[in-house]
């Protein structure tokens, strides 16, 4: 199977299913909601698994909320009115993986229409059981464009010795990010496996590159760096391959591969209010 024009092994697909629809999942609730739905006896441990943090976008959820963990059996044992309230609360609290029935109802039918309020639902293993090979690729490709690495014939090996090796590959889970991808493409061994933090990336940028102007945006080895204008913190990075192509990893999530995109498309997709773009040539 190919997802985003990148080969996926069957074992990898099963692993993704476990990260999208685990046996137990967190429902983020206020204390009032916990009391209202009589869930006070449920486990309320924090989400520490890196993959699940990305599945449920935990970093977007108000830290005042606490997760109540429910299994599929426990969830379906609740009255439908309670299930509907729980699912609506997750959408309201901006938790991830709360898709719409309108999007998936034609494939999954009654199972998702009756799960909660008929408008939203959450993923459970039983929903993926018969349709894993259809659902997982569709979820991953929903907001991402395919990788164009197969279209390149002239890789800038002298400047980016590992770019071709990395392009069109999936991470082993959440963590590997844009910073590590850029550093690894430039030859830093193991950087593609790490959840590369800002400080080591800034150190590498300072010692390995020099600032250049916008006219060199398509020169091989030019690192594009997006920073927030408020605090100058680096937010994203990508590297030019030349001939109108760019290598980047859209996020640290298990759902995003290291991919090649047209430079103009990658810049447009990364454009974010409050961010500014600078360029740095590898020395």
**Looking at residue 158, what is its pLDDT?**
97
d(CA 184, CA 125): 35
Q: Is residue 155 located within the same domain as residue 276?
A: yes
Q: Is residue 137 located within the same domain as residue 196?
A: no
Among residues 99, 124, 141, the one where a domain terminates is 141
Q: What are phi and psi of 177, to 5 degrees?
A: -135, -170
Q: Is residue 168 located within the same domain as residue 44?
A: no
Among residues 120, 141, 162, the one where a domain terminates is 141
Q: Is residue 54 located within the same domain as residue 153?
A: no
Mean pLDDT of 80-96: 98
Please identify which residue in the block is written with the tokens 């844009």: 178
Bridge partners (DSSP) of residue 227 are 234, 276
pLDDT digits (tens, 9 = 90+) for 218-247: 999 999 999 999 999 999 999 999 999 999
d(CA 113, CA 121): 8
Longest dimension (CA), the chain: 63
pLDDT band at 20 (very low <50, low <70, confident <90, very high): very high
Range of the domain at 108: 2-141
Q: Is residue 17 located within the same domain as residue 134?
A: yes
Q: Is residue 135 located within the same domain as residue 156?
A: no
Q: Is the pLDDT of residue 42 over 80?
A: no
Q: Is the pLDDT of residue 61 over 80?
A: yes
Q: Is residue 126 located within the same domain as residue 176?
A: no
CATH of the domain at 153: 3.90.1720
The CB density around residue 135, as the number of other CB atoms within 10 Å, is 22
Q: Global pTM?
A: 0.93
Q: Is residue 244 located within the same domain as residue 193?
A: yes
pLDDT digits (tens, 9 = 90+) for 160-215: 999 999 999 999 999 999 999 999 999 999 999 999 999 999 999 999 999 999 88
Q: Is residue 117 located within the same domain as residue 237?
A: no
Q: Is residue 49 located within the same domain as residue 122?
A: yes
- What is the number of structural domains in the chain? 2
Q: Is residue 6 located within the same domain as residue 128?
A: yes
Virtual torsion, Cα 55, 61, 67, 68, nearest 10 deg: -80
| Structural element, H or E, at residue 134 | helix 132-141
Q: Is the pLDDT of residue 19 over 80?
A: yes
Among residues 113, 141, 169, the one where a domain terminates is 141
Q: Is residue 136 located within the same domain as residue 195?
A: no
């Amino acid at each position: 199977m190919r997802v985003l024009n990148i080969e996926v092994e069957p074992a990898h697909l099963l692993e993704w299913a476990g990260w999208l629809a685990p046996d137990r999942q967190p429902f983020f609730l206020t204390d009032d909601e916990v009391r209202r739905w009589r869930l006070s006896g449920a486990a309320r441990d924090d989400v520490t698994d890196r993959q699940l943090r990305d599945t449920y976008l935990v970093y977007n959820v108000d830290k005042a909320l606490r997760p109540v963990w429910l299994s599929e059996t426990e969830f379906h044992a609740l009255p439908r009115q309670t299930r509907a309230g729980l699912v609506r609360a997750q959408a309201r609290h901006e938790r991830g993986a709360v898709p719409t029935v309108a999007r998936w109802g034609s494939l999954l039918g009654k199972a998702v229409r009756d799960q909660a309020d008929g408008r939203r639902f959450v993923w459970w293993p039983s929903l993926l059981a018969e349709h894993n090979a259809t659902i997982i690729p569709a979820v991953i490709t929903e907001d991402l464009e395919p990788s164009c690495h197969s279209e390149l014939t002239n890789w800038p090996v002298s400047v980016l010795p590992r770019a071709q090796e990395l392009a069109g590959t999936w991470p082993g889970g959440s963590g590997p990010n844009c910073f590590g991808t850029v550093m690894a493409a430039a030859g830093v061994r193991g950087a593609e496996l790490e959840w590369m933090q800002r400080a080591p990336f800034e150190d590498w940028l300072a010692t390995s590159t020099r600032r250049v102007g916008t006219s060199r945006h398509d020169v091989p080895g030019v690192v594009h760096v997006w920073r927030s204008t408020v605090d100058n913190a680096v937010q994203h990075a990508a590297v030019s391959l030349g001939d109108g192509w760019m290598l980047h990893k859209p996020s640290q999530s298990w759902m995003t591969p290291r991919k090649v995109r047209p430079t103009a498309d990658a810049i447009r997709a990364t454009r974010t209010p409050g961010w500014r773009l600078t360029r740095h040539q590898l020395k």
